[in-house]
Amino acid sequence: MKVLHIEPEKCTGCLRCEVACSYVQSGEFNPSKSVIRVSAFERGHTSFSPYTCFQCAEGWCMTACPVEAIDISAVGAKEVQDDQCVGCKLCTLACPYGTIFYDPEREKAFKCNLCGGDPQCAHACPTQAITWIEDFTQDWTGAFAAQRSAADLARIGATNGR
């Protein structure tokens, strides 16, 4: 099965994935509508990581949805069906990864649907930090984020203690 594979070490924080994704989501270049988001660590000087739904096996959003508006698509994406979504936001509370969002203009939840099997973020990424390859899926950024955040916390601690 093809998955969206993310290697945070390769990300330079250019946000080109957000620009491309936002076009698919909204028809405009508007990163606030992107469902892939680049997080910055170390004050954004040296560490970035793209972060989006990795289509977890548990499917927390799908389980929580009271109207069964979230399906699994042919390419393995948990996909919001706009005609069924009532905009209750339960899915956004249920998702432990923070990768399903609520659009107040349309009053619908929205998330990564793997662009129907041709993810534009992977096309857009100039450093191959995001690729669309055969692999097992997993939370690609958790360990990286934990390590970088620990470094940040250690630095802040050191500053406060000085």
Partner 1 sequence: MLVTEKKRNQPAGYAGALLRVDLTTGRLWEQPIDDEFARSYVGGTGMGARILYDEVGADVQWNDPENRLILATGPLAGTPTWGSGGLSVVTKGAITGGATSTQANGFFGANIKSSGFDGIVFQGRSDQWVYLYIHNGTAELRDASHLLGLDTWETQDHLYEELGLSGHQLSVYSIGPSGENLIRFAGIQGDYGHVASKNGCGAVMGSKRVKAVAIVRGNRGIYVADPRGVFRTADDIAYQMRTELPGQNFYLIGTLGGVTGLAPVGGLPIKNLTTNILPAEADMSKWEPMELREGFDHRGHQCNACGMHHCHMQVIRDGVHAGDVVDEPEYEGWVGAGWAWGCTDRTKVSWMNTQCDRAGVDVNEFGWVIGWVMECYEKEYLTRQDLGGIQAVWGDADAAYELLQMLCTRQGFGDVLAEGIKRAAEHLGGPAQDCAVYTMKGSSPRGHDHRALWPEMLDTCVSSTGTLESGGPTRPQELGLPATLQVQSPDDVPRQVALTLGRRHFEDSIGTCFFTTSTTIAAIAEAVSAVTGWNYTKDDAMYLGRRTAALMRAFNLRSGIGPELERPSARYGSTPVDGPAAGVSTAPHWDHMLDTWYELVEYDRESGRPLPELLDRLALPEVKAELWG
Report, in Å, the least distance between residue 61 CB and partner 1.
Answer: 23
- 142 binding partner 1? (CB under 8 A): no
Comparison of 23 and 102: residue with beta carbon closer to partner 1: 23
Report, in Å, the least distance between residue 120 CB and partner 1.
Answer: 9
Kindly tell me which residue out of 3, 4, 6, 15 binds partner 1, with binding defined by CB under 8 A: 15
Cα–Cα distance between 131 and 66 in angstroms, integer?
33
Cα–Cα distance between 57 and 100 in angstroms, integer?
15
Amino acid type, 93: L
Kindly tell me which residue out of 13, 59, 87, 142 binds partner 1, with binding defined by CB under 8 A: 13
Cα–Cα distance between 89 and 101 in angstroms, integer?
8
Residues forming a β-bridge with 79 = 71
* Site residues (CB under 8 A) for partner 1, limited to 82-121: none
Comparison of 22 and 99: residue with beta carbon closer to partner 1: 22
45 φ, ψ (degrees, to nearest 5): -80, -45
Comparison of 48 and 140: residue with beta carbon closer to partner 1: 48
- 124 binding partner 1? (CB under 8 A): yes
Per residue in 73-97, is it b (16+ CB within 10 Å) or e — as a string? Answer: eebebbbbeeeebeebebbbebbee
Binding site residues, partner 1, CB under 8 A = 12-16, 19-20, 22-23, 26-33, 38-40, 42-48, 124, 126-127
